[in-house]
Amino acid sequence: MATPPASRDEFEVALVCSRPLEYNAISLLFDQFWDENGDQYGRAIGDTNTYTTGRFGKFDVVLVLLPNTGKVSAASATASLRSSYPALRLVILTGICGGVPSSDAGDEILLGDVIISKTVIQYDYGKQYPDDFAVKDTTEDSLGRPDKNIRSLIAVLETARGRELIEKRAADFLEQIQNFPATGIRRKGDTYQYPGTASDKLFEASYRHKHHTSLQCLCAQCHEYSDPVCEESRDQGCDVLGCDDKHSMPRQRLETKRQLEQQGGSKKAQIPSIFIGRFGSSDKILKSGEHRDWVAKRYGVLAFEMEGAGVWDELPCIIVKGVCNYADSHNNNLWQNFAAATAATVAKSLVERYTKTDKPTIIQVKQQIEEMMKDKENRDCLKDLHQTDPRDDKTRIQRTKGNLLKDSYRWILSHDDFKRWRDNPQYRLLWIKGDPGKGKTMLLCGIIDEIENSTTVHCLSYFFCQATERPSLISYVREKYDISGKKLFDDGNTWDALSKILMAMLNDASLDDAVLVVDALDEVMTAQRNTPLSSI
């Protein structure tokens, strides 16, 4: 039996679901749970997520169920996840999706198959022209590429051997889920069984889901694809409405599965195929065959879902989702649990193939302990220097203002003034002015996040100094603090002392670049306003 991690800092992998049925499926593949006797790891200040922790293959994993579907909920929850579990290197968003009937290569995609993300496009984010809608940017530009670890893993999965290994293990895990004892409240006996080829129907894209025989409702007036239908028909099955199978599309791969079923090979017929490609992410559920085909053709999309765009920019992410419908108007809920199960099996197979990072050696552990002791002394010094940690202040501000979304500040990243300040050493000051309540603080929070993720900036300071980012700089404060103690920050010469310390930090030879971020400068007391300005 594995031993539970000592702290949240030891978790490298997270699983994210947006629906209880997705959570139920993935939880059946946990090898052990660390919270059977209650949560033992807690969460960061401002984090409202509820976590499940346990052993998932060779990794200790944290599982989170989003409070709602959609990218806003996903972005907020993932940002909190990142603050509570800072060592995460891989996040898998797993669950169900709507699928495109065939890939660009012409391969048939069937219900129960699993799509793995290579890229994501937010296809409802862009500009609406009188004659057209244009997505804002390409996937790589608007939502970024996956990090190198994930790109390396996906590259292996695209090989014949890599795909074969994943599909084989996924088939084993699927049988494990299906054979799980049907006791207690965790599941029913047939919850995750293969629904069968007879219920896998793909209708012509233009064939509407409506009452085809009734003359008593709005459906009788539906003759064109854009004509409305009655509300009742949207929640009813094809068998109730009289959707005619003669409008269903013939598919060779489905026919092969049907023959396997007839020969008693249902176990083989249920094995899902895995496809790797682009997800389309949106805040709306797509239920239109013609719109599905249009988006798929224009943007090269294989599947549609609602949370990927929210998670993608926050943490290194792979989307793994099972196809439960064809993103058309024909209502079919029979495949949701099975699709959630196939996605869960592929997710665990991926985690098995993910390379585990070496743990620190004994010498490194000893060095870390020494650093921790030194860090405690540094924290004592910083505690006397200020009453709150600016990182906590930033988290609190973002939480009280509704959390930070990239869409709310990304405009400034392409602004000429910002680009000149960022790229040209001659432009050393970026001054953002505006009336109170116009969002300047949240704008700065976004800029801080961008700078923190930059590879060119070696030191970032907001409020005073982030000791965790540049631990060597605290030595300049400690040099005087160890002699004077807390009174260094209490007497009348405080500003002069701190100004000298700040200048010593900025003159440190190890700093090639430094950025100071100051918010609400106009709120500094009038008598002191020129002092910080002149010093900076």
pLDDT digits (tens, 9 = 90+) for 301-316: 999 999 998 888 788 8
Using CA atoms, how far apart are residues 99 and 289, in angstroms rounded to an integer? 11
pLDDT digits (tens, 9 = 90+) for 348-401: 999 999 987 766 554 554 455 456 555 555 555 555 555 455 666 677 676 666
Q: Does domain 8-202+248-353 have CATH number 3.30.300.30?
A: no
pLDDT digits (tens, 9 = 90+) for 77-104: 999 999 999 889 899 999 999 999 998 8
Checking if the pLDDT of 438 tops 70, the result is: yes
C-beta of residue 19 within 8 angstroms of C-beta of residue 69? yes
| Domain residue spans of the chain | 8-202+248-353, 208-242, 362-535
Residues 6+ apart with CB under 8 A from 450: 413
Alpha helices, H only, 120-235: 139-143, 148-157, 160-178
Q: Which of 15-29, 414-428, 439-453, 462-476 has the lowest mean pLDDT?
A: 462-476
The pLDDT, as a whole number, for residue 85 is 94
Checking if the pLDDT of 493 tops 70, the result is: no
For residue 316 the two structure tokens come to 């290194």
For residue 344 the two structure tokens come to 């869960």
- Nearest by Cα to 391 from 45, 9, 78, 74: 45
Task: State mean pLDDT over 126-149.
Answer: 62
CA distances from 249 to 245, 356, 428 (A): 9, 44, 63
Task: State mean pLDDT over 212-233.
Answer: 75
Q: What is the pTM of this model?
A: 0.66
- Average pLDDT of the chain, as a whole number: 80
Task: State mean pLDDT over 217-232.
Answer: 76
CA angle (100, 104, 106) in 5-degree steps: 85
More confident residue, 234 or 44: 44
**Please, which residues bridge with residue 33 across strands?**
54
| 3-state secondary structure at position 211 | coil
- What is the amino acid identity at position 136? K
More confident residue, 162 or 523: 162
**Please, which residues bridge with residue 284 across strands?**
none
- Nearest by Cα to 119 from 134, 133, 101, 135: 135
**Please, which residues bridge with residue 65 across strands?**
17
Burial class for 499, CB neighbours closer than 10 Å (0-12, 13-18, 19+): middle
The pLDDT, as a whole number, for residue 480 is 57
pLDDT digits (tens, 9 = 90+) for 468-486: 334 444 555 556 556 555 5
C-beta of residue 144 within 8 angstroms of C-beta of residue 313? yes
Using CA atoms, how far apart are residues 66 and 72, in angstroms rounded to an integer? 10
For residue 161 the two structure tokens come to 């051997």
